[in-house]
Chain A
Amino acid sequence: MKTHLKMASKLRSLGVIGVFALAAVFSPLPSLAQVKGGEIVIVQGSNPPSLDGMSTSSQASRNINMNIYETLYGFSEEIKPIPILAEGVDISDDGLTYVFTLRKGVLFHNGDEMNAGDVKASLERYRVVGATKNLLAPVKDIEITGDYEVTFHMVENTPTFLEAFSSPRAPAVIIPEEDGATEAGKNSFVGTGPYKFVEYVPDDHVTIERFDDYTADTRSEGIDGFGGKKTAWLDRVIFRIIPEPGAQVAALEAGEVQILEQIPMPAARRLESSPDINLFKNARWAFTTFIFNTSVSPSDNVKFREAVQVGLNMEEIMAISSEGLYTLNHRWQYEGTTYDPGMIGAEYYNQADTERAKALLAEAGYDGEEFSILTDSNIPQHGRSAVVIAEQLKGMGINAVINQVDWPTALNVRMQDEGWNGWTLQMGIEPYLGPVGLIATLASPARPHFVKPDAELDALYQELIKGATVEARQETFKKIQAHLYEIFAIIKVGDSGLMHAARSSVKGFIPFRFPRVYDIWLEG
């Protein structure tokens, strides 16, 4: 909704020509304005760690890969599983068999037609190299039951399986059978998507070009989330890697590039009224969180953690860490989504109550012990929220110090039970995936982010994934929300957004979890 509001205000400033162009952006039907051909350059800050779609969960990879590869099932614009390469699925009443039928005539970039053999080979490979291979843990085996049909036999009934299987986090993409035995990162980068891989020059660019024999899914009118009817208008798309945000903006303003995956907010405000540049707000991009280490002093004390929770001024942390693009939200879901738990926990949120914090600290017997905040220099929001949190903690009388290291070191340190007390983390894709994806990072069998497993949360997590109906799961999630505000092991700071920017010659761009470079075109 916010995007539309934003666009409405832009419409006023752009005048008549802009109105036509922008009307085309939001028109669900193909319009005459679409132009085939041309090339655009889209910028992101870091190299894709891998162009092997299934073996990585990194955003920098997903941005590119989701234009090259497709999955059997994926999320729609409304975050519901929809068939993409699958024709559909039949789930037995006991939930123990899933029969997937495949779309016929879908071609890989190498010209071969996709069939059941490719699907089985891809998913067997996923079990080995998939970055979130646990999502196939409920599947006992995969059987080819026809040229265009595969059947999953399940270990046990898992009502949330199809949602997990549709996850774009490390997507279970379908690749040719020949690549089935390749090591992670060593496949031929052949998929079924509207664009095919051309070249990758690390630290410089990844080039993809239109796959002319792409088999569009004609079941819908246009694109829908990760699926729908996709049309590649552009001849070539170049993903350029520019690490410096300032240089990214400079390149956009100079017209050397057409889209920025992320534009710093101060630059966005400056360019708001520029006729050459359009801004696209992705308000629900990530949760800003602050995670405690519940196994070491002083953060092992729940009173201490409660003190921090009520003492923090979330508005200040969010305003600075997100550069002003944020929503205050105490919920462990986005407001108004299926699992929105309502006002549970709101009384602890954004209190900025230093006095109460000090009283709780006294109650906890806090004696000025060092409180070490782990953060990294690679993701700017992490560092910024650590700085603001540390300053606020000092105001409460907590001896907070910042330990800023690089990202691999941070991941290494937080895997250790000692040596850190708090950790700043942006959760991007987890909240998007809904409650299961989010709570999975806090409950066994995974190592919880806050280190020491919480038996009650583990039980609630099992209840959540086994919940037979949406209503049952909603009830469970409310309990989880309430419990998270009892143990204070992880603090929800707020929802932060992401601003994309594009030259006004780029038409049809709709912000999403990754930049969809199909169904966008250049003004003729």
Chain B
Amino acid sequence: MTTEAASDTLSIGREIRLARRRRRLTFVRRLLAHPSFLVGFVILVLFTLTALLADVIAPYAPTELNYRFILAPPSKEFWFGTDAYGRDVLSRIIYGTRVSLRIGIYVVVMTGILGTLLGTLASYVKWLDGLIMRSLDGLMAFPGVLLAIALAAALGPSETNAIIALTVTFTPRTARIVRASVIVVQGMQFIEAAYAAGAGHARIIFRYILANALSPLIVQLTFVFAVSIVAEAILSFLGVGPPPPAPSLGNIIADGRSNIQEAWWIAVFPGLVIAVAVLGLNLMGDGLRDILDPRHSSARDRP
């Protein structure tokens, strides 16, 4: 290799790196300029901070009970009132965001990994395609809630099992999305070019195909996050969510639902928190989709 050629390669490499960084910068800038993404992002940051700083900002311990303050309405001492155990609802909600966030993150990560794995395998390995897709269709043919309840009943109610149940429920759709976008990308010219240039399978899958199938996956996972938070509440409502005494947004609602007329604050506040968190995630998802998926954003720009 001559020095000229080497320096050429170097400079091309630098060019590419710079271009990539520029792209990344404009991407972040475009995201932050997108109003709904920004609002959603702020909500999520606040939600995360609440969860992380729960020990600092919660006025009481979340399981501290006192039978002299049962079902106390919102007041200066208890901003969001107390529940049937005399526990401070605000503190429980603050700590409850931890559970929701943890469930959301784990489900997103596991769904992301499993979905990508299965989706890529199905699109890449022809003889596995039918097997994987029919199995996923089978899982999708269950009403999601029933599948999650059945799994939670089988495994026992706990946070981990809720995560497993929700991952099993959400993976099929995610895998399908990955598979569909991988198939689209596979047919594109630059992939054929890469093969012609002698790139290996692994390199092609990770470097080109997955990288290009990432956008729809990210958008999907934002919604999986949102749905997980609601699903935790549903599981708790049906008695198979994270068990007591640790608070989750769902089991606070479940605790308060039979006293909704006498002590509306127990069920109403965590419900609102869930709604706001989900709203934030949906807004972020919208923003991501607008920017990552040009077809949609072009639709928006038209008169």
Contact = CB atoms under 8 A, between A and B. Distances in A.
Direct contact of A and B (CB under 8 A): yes
Contact of B259 (A266, A324, A391, A402): A266
Contact of A319 (B67, B240, B261, B263): B67
A377 B255 CA distance: 11
Contacts of B261: 246, 249-250, 267, 270
A244 B257 contact: yes
Chain A interface size, as a band, is 20 to 34
Contacts of A380: 258
B243 interface: yes
B157 to A, nearest CB: 6
B144 interface: no
B262 A266 contact: yes
28 contacts: A244-B257, A246-B259, A250-B261, A264-B258, A264-B259, A266-B71, A266-B84, A319-B67, A320-B67, A320-B84, A320-B86, A323-B84, A377-B239, A378-B239, A387-B63, A387-B85, A387-B245, A388-B65, A391-B64, A391-B65, A391-B245, A402-B245, A403-B243, A405-B156, A406-B157, A406-B239, A409-B153, A409-B156
Interface of B: 63-65, 67, 70-71, 84-86, 153, 156-157, 239-240, 243-245, 257-263
Interface in A377-433: 377-378, 380, 383-384, 386-388, 390-391, 402-406, 409
A403 B158 CA distance: 9
Contacts of B244: 383, 386-387, 402, 404
A268 B243 CA distance: 28
A387 B240 CA distance: 16
A517 B92 CA distance: 43
A437 interface: no
A245 interface: yes
Nearest to A313: B67
A67 B257 CA distance: 32
A237 B246 CA distance: 42
B259 to A, nearest CB: 5
A378 B240 CA distance: 11
B239 A246 contact: no
Given A384-B84, A387-B245, A319 B65 contact: no
Given A267-B261, A324-B70, A377-B240, 20 more contacts: A244-B258, A246-B260, A249-B261, A266-B71, A266-B262, A266-B263, A267-B259, A267-B262, A319-B67, A320-B84, A323-B84, A377-B243, A384-B84, A387-B63, A387-B244, A388-B65, A391-B65, A391-B245, A404-B243, A406-B239
A269 interface: yes
Contacts of A384: 84-85
Nearest to B238: A377
Nearest to B239: A377
Nearest to B67: A319
Contacts of B70: 319-320, 324
A246 B71 contact: no
Contacts of B245: 387, 390-391, 402
Contacts of B65: 316, 320, 387-388, 391
Contacts, number: 74
B222 to A, nearest CB: 32
Contacts of A269: 262
Nearest to B64: A391
Interface in A262-286: 264, 266-267, 269-270
Contacts of B157: 377, 404-406
Interface in A317-338: 319-320, 323-324
A364 to B, nearest CB: 25
A319 B86 CA distance: 11
Nearest to A249: B261
Contacts of A320: 65, 67, 70, 84-86
| Residue of A320, A324, A390 with most partner-chain B CB within 10 A | A320
Top 3 A-B pairs, shortest CB-CB distance: A245-B258, A377-B239, A404-B243
A56 B213 CA distance: 58
Contacts of A316: 65, 67
Nearest to A264: B258
Interface string A211-253: 0000000000000000000000000000000001110011000
A320 B84 CA distance: 7
Interface in A350-383: 377-378, 380, 383
A373 to B, nearest CB: 10
A386 B85 CA distance: 12
Interface in A293-321: 315-316, 319-320
| Residue of A250, A377, A405 with most partner-chain B CB within 10 A | A377
Contacts of A244: 257-258
Contacts of A266: 71, 84, 259, 262-263
A316 to B, nearest CB: 5
Given A384-B85, A409-B156, A402 B258 contact: no
Nearest to A406: B153
A431 to B, nearest CB: 24
B201 to A, nearest CB: 47
A267 B256 CA distance: 12
A230 to B, nearest CB: 34
A316 B65 CA distance: 9
Contacts of B240: 377, 406
Contacts of A324: 70
A200 B84 CA distance: 35
A319 B85 CA distance: 9
A422 to B, nearest CB: 15
Contacts of A404: 157, 243-244
A245 B255 CA distance: 11
Contacts of A405: 156-157
